[in-house]
Amino acid sequence: MTEKAASEAPTCGPEETSSELAKAPTTEPSAEAAALESAGEERAPTPHAPAPTAPAAPAAATKPAPASEGDKKVGQGVRAGERSPPQTSSSPPTSPPDRPSAPLRLALEDVSDSSVTVSWEPPERLGRLGLQGYVLELCREGGSEWVPVNARPLMVTQLTMRNLALGDKFFLRVAAVSSAGAGPPAVLEQPVHIQKIIEAPKIRVPRHLRQTYIRQVGEPVNLQIPFQGSPKPQASWTHNGHALDSQRVNVRTGDQDSILFIRSARRSDSGCYELTVRLEGLEAKAAIDILVIEKPGPPSSIRLLDVWGCNAALEWTLPQDTGNTELLGYTVQKADKKTGQWFTVLERYHPTTCTISDLIVGNAYSFRVFSENQCGLSASAATTKELARIQKADIVAKPKGFVERDFSEAPSFTQPLADHTSTPGYSTQLFCSVRASPKPKIIWMKNKMNIQGDPKYRALSEQGICTLEIRKPSPFDSGVYTCKAVNVLGEASVDCRLEVKGKASATH
């Protein structure tokens, strides 16, 4: 970096940010510097006299990364043990008082396969003439010439170089510039290497394939398994550890997924399918279990064990073919000889013996048993060869003497009346329950006086529940209420006190 280049660069306003610099895509740093220069000419104001102190940089561009994080970023694009950056004798180790000192904490923020982002912090000493900006320069490995990335000083502390070519390797340095010229630069000790970034392969198995994937015989099998990886990884499939049968199984692998397709599934297609994704020594695997099932066969045999009364006992043996899955049970049906219609007696019955009851006397029955799994009932059933005949038996009825029970009882209250407080003008009810046989007569009294027939009261009695409704009571209606139950065997009564608080709206 020379004093001449710094003096020719005008002062750039602090409103320029690193995001604006990134909008000038270039393939070479020198071209990007030209784009930045043109952008600076369009937006930079007329240069003024330098201020005694440096202008504040934008907040978005002046957040320096910690030293440890910067070292970590350097490790992504810098090879350890590389040659040191070229030294130039034109840059003095210390700067004159008019020039700023070297920027602090120069570090790599990000390195991709086409761009580099660097950041730094302002220098400790800005110089007597103030700070005009920073100039970033690069020097390719093996060369000695430092080329400015931005031709004019920029008031930013972060800069991104874009559209870099794979395989580029270069050194970077940044210097602070004032009206008196550029100060000593801060140099990255290791070169930046632009290389293809490898993203480790990953397989994302869909949720419905994380458990056994069940298909029926004849149905298609279509597995779409997405994966990640950059550059595009190589995908391969195996079935139970062996290569796939290319005549039956079709595989199509794209940039982001692999599809396994079987047009018509067979039971032999059941098993563990494993997808392996490899990328430059890295690999990821995912296993998918497929089960191809079909309807089971019928029970091997069935026989009628015994017939007694209105019952018949059956026994059968397990089917020879369960359909490549476990049985859900058996369905037992019966049919009488007269109608020949089949009726289901038992469903999803697990034992292999059963007793059929409630058969009609005088009829002859046949029985059959189906096997059942997830696909449904077996196509055929095992049927008994002999009929179960329900014989008529001579039954003589011997009636026993019937002793009639006397349920008569005197009245007794199972739920007494409860004391109650009411508000004037709001109807209230009194409840109690009585037990008696024959049905008793219910009499309601207030203060020992019979109130039957008074329109102010309504008495109800149903199923032993006795209710007295007092319509719009007033304080005059306060008193002791009695419910009396009377039948031929005796009588019983219960009392309660009703208190109506407040002034009556009308006299009784």
Q: Whole-model pTM?
A: 0.47
Separation of alpha carbons 244 and 251, rounded Å: 9
User: Which residue ranges form the domains of the chain, and what is each CATH number?
Assistant: 103-194 (2.60.40.10), 199-293 (2.60.40.10), 303-390 (2.60.40.10), 409-500 (2.60.40.10)
Separation of alpha carbons 187 and 118, rounded Å: 11
Separation of alpha carbons 343 and 333, rounded Å: 5
Peptide bond into 103 cis (omega under 30): no
Closest listed residue to residue 198, CA positions, set 168, 164, 231, 226: 231
- The tens place of each residue's pLDDT in the chain, 508 residues long, gives 333 333 333 333 333 333 333 333 343 333 343 333 433 333 333 333 333 333 333 333 333 333 333 333 333 333 333 455 665 444 444 556 778 899 999 999 988 888 999 999 999 988 888 888 999 999 998 888 999 998 889 999 999 999 888 888 999 999 999 888 888 999 988 899 888 878 889 999 999 999 999 999 999 999 999 999 888 899 999 999 999 998 999 999 999 999 999 999 999 999 999 999 998 888 999 999 999 999 999 999 999 999 998 999 999 999 999 999 999 999 999 999 989 999 999 999 999 999 999 999 889 999 999 999 999 999 999 999 999 998 887 667 777 777 788 888 999 999 999 999 998 988 999 999 999 989 999 999 999 999 988 889 999 999 889 999 999 899 998 999 999 999 999 999 999 999 998 764 444 4
Closest listed residue to residue 29, CA positions, set 155, 160, 157: 160
